[in-house]
Amino acid sequence: MKSATATPAIPIASDLALYEAKEADAAAIYNLINSSRLYLREWLPFIDYSYSVADTEMFLRSVTAPGNMQDKVYTIRYQDQVAGIIGFKTIDRINSKLEIGYWQGEAYQGKGIMIRSCEALLTYAFEHMHMNRIQIKVGIGNAKSSAIPKKLGFSLEGIERDGEWIRDKFIDLEVYSLLKREWEKQKA
């Protein structure tokens, strides 16, 4: 899963950085999906539609297309390996809000990679994009994923009923949010 790396878009630590996703990352991302397919499938609806590198290329083309102002996707590189994906979804510049979405391969769990990646994106969104509100949605029961917004000081706002279609059924989503003033207070 090694991939030629350029300068990180968002450096985090000597062994961890976020790089803007590009079509050339498709094989590494697909291989990571494929190696963690059963693990990822429990909570990610797109896994059942990712059958080839071409499927991943199509996704990357859509999120990196010129004029796409609603999504910004990064590969998470840990020790120069693609460990997962993180990014901004539904960027709303008028209302200064966005959603963060993320996933990582099973082999990379338990290393603090995702919490550090989320912290880096929060800083970037609040300081450089001048966002006011960031939300994270998590499937009810996905304890590993819901631990992240909780540790980062997000507030549970409520439940989005039937918010996602996974494996032939709808599941409810916990909706967490963090406001810029809350984040600034945490940093003080």
CATH number at residue 73: 3.40.630.30
Nearest partner of 54 among 81, 33, 75, judged by Cα? 33
Give the integer Cα–Cα distance in Å for 2 and 4: 7
pLDDT of residue 183: 97
In a domain, 90, yes or no: yes
Nearest partner of 132 among 105, 162, 98, judged by Cα? 98
In a domain, 3, yes or no: no
Which amino acid would we find at residue 115?
I
For residue 117, pLDDT over 80 is answered with yes
In a domain, 73, yes or no: yes
In a domain, 2, yes or no: no
Per-residue pLDDT band at 46 (split at 50, 70, 90):
very high
In a domain, 5, yes or no: no
In a domain, 25, yes or no: yes
Q: Which structural domain, as residue segments, surrounds residue 171?
A: 10-187
Q: pLDDT for 119-153, tens place per residue?
A: 999 999 999 999 999 999 999 999 999 999 999 99
Region 81-96 average pLDDT? 97
In a domain, 174, yes or no: yes
The pTM is what?
A: 0.92
Nearest partner of 80 among 176, 6, 162, judged by Cα? 6
Per-residue pLDDT band at 188 (split at 50, 70, 90):
confident
In a domain, 159, yes or no: yes
pLDDT of residue 6: 61
In the chain, the number of structural domains is 1
